[in-house]
Amino acid sequence: MVDVEGWLRHRTWFAVALSSEINGGAVHRAELFDDRLVVFRESSGAPVVLGARCPHMGADLGLGEVVGDTIRCTFHHFCFGADGRCASVPSGERVPPAAHVPSFPAVERWGLVWAFNGEEPEGEPPGIRGYDDTGLVVRARRTDVFPVEPWVILGNSFDFQHLRYVHGLRFEDPDPITWNEDGTVEYDVPFDSDEIGSFAQRIRVSGTNTVSYVTSGAVDSMGLFTSTPCATGSQSYYLAATSRDGDAEAIEARLAFQEVVADSLLVDDIRAFTGMDFREGAFVSADRHLVQWFRHARNFPVFAR
């Protein structure tokens, strides 16, 4: 069992749905930490992310229906708009002042709906280093649930020992690692491996839960991995991305190849995380970047509603 209640509620962007899950008026039920959320689209197509506990009697708004620009509770038909306020009650009475739910800043990017854990969004949802949204074809999917906090999973990006011993890569620790003012962290690293050959990666870590990479050399690929804390652990999403070069078949082949590579790497990571009881432990000097990351995560701003 994971103790989500004690997890750090970082003020950052979290993926809460695949774009495809809210198309055609569909309503998606999501979780962020131990809160239930409801995700849907307004008539303009803009995504809306609200707390899902109906303030009338506690029904799950995720079981409601989209009506106009609102989500209508399945029980007594109170309707809630993007600002979280109750827009109408079916009896036509005055709306009680307490009839509102938390509203999360929401943005759709890369085939995912992102919610910001805070009153006002800071920056944009994570991107792929060196690319804007228009230059790429992307495919997002939901992957595994890990029993540790997202920032512990993201520690893998600074855990250079595990890249050697779990993934069998040969390389020098990246230098420099740039800890940017906006909270992102970037580095470049050339790798060599018996299985894959030589390749280089441009890494960017955003928030405490997302890493994007651009790989060149023996494998050309781009991707983004992000995790969202929920009641059962960290729900992870993987996004494969590629250029628009070539016909649909060529694009499909590249996306599929990236997913296979990502899955094969994840198999080894999943084994390490399964059943893990995380505590910061007996670090050695080879862990210094990992230790710095954990310090970064512990000092990262938090937001609790």
Residue 156 binding target from Fe ion, ligand FES, none, CB below 5 to 8 Å by type: Fe ion
Give the chain as a 3 state SS string.
Answer: CCCHHHCCCECCEEEEEEHHHHHHHCCEEEEECCEEEEEEECCCCCEEEEECECCCCCCEHHHCEEECCEEECCCCCCEECCCCEEEECCCCCCCCCCCECCEECEEEECCEEEEECCCCCCCCCCCCCCCCHHHEEEEEEEEEEECCCHHHHHHHHCCHHHHHHCCCCECCCCCCCEECCCCCEEEEEEEEECCCEEEEEEEEEECCCEEEEEEEECCCEEEEEEEEEECCEEEEEEEEEEECCCCHHHHHHHHHHHHHHHHHHHHHHHHHHCCCCCCCCCCCHHHHHHHHHHHHHHHCCECCC
**Judged by CB under 5 A, does residue 287 bind Fe ion?**
no
Among 12, 88, 156, 206, binds Fe ion (CB under 5 A): 156
| Cβ 63 to ligand FES shortest distance, Å | 10
**Judged by CB under 5 A, does residue 149 bind Fe ion?**
no
**Judged by CB under 6 A, does residue 63 bind ligand FES?**
no
Give the C-alpha separation, 284 to 291, whole Å: 9
| Cβ 185 to Fe ion shortest distance, Å | 16
| Cβ 75 to ligand FES shortest distance, Å | 4
Residue 80 binding target from ligand FES, Fe ion, none, CB below 5 to 8 Å by type: none
- What are 171-176's contacts with CB under 8 Å, separation 24+? 173/289, 174/203
**Judged by CB under 6 A, does residue 67 bind ligand FES?**
no
Cα angle 239-260-222, degrees, rounded to a multiple of 5: 40
**Judged by CB under 6 A, does residue 52 bind ligand FES?**
no
For the segment 260-279, give every residue that binds Fe ion (CB under 5 A).
269
Among 56, 100, 141, 202, binds ligand FES (CB under 6 A): 56
- Based on CB atoms, which residue is closest to ligand FES, 54 or 148? 54
**Judged by CB under 6 A, does residue 54 bind ligand FES?**
yes
| Cβ 27 to ligand FES shortest distance, Å | 14
Among 73, 185, 211, 214, binds ligand FES (CB under 6 A): 73
Determine the interface stretch with ligand FES among 73-81, 128-136, 208-216, 257-265 (rule: CB under 6 A): 73-81
Site string for ligand FES, 74-93 (x = CB under 6 A): -xx-x---------------
Which residue bears the tokens 């937001």?
Answer: 303
Residue 269 binding target from ligand FES, Fe ion, none, CB below 5 to 8 Å by type: Fe ion
**Judged by CB under 5 A, does residue 221 bind Fe ion?**
no
**Judged by CB under 5 A, does residue 144 bind Fe ion?**
no
**Judged by CB under 6 A, does residue 253 bind ligand FES?**
no
Q: By the criterion CB under 6 A, which residues form the site for ligand FES?
A: 54, 56-57, 59, 73, 75-76, 78
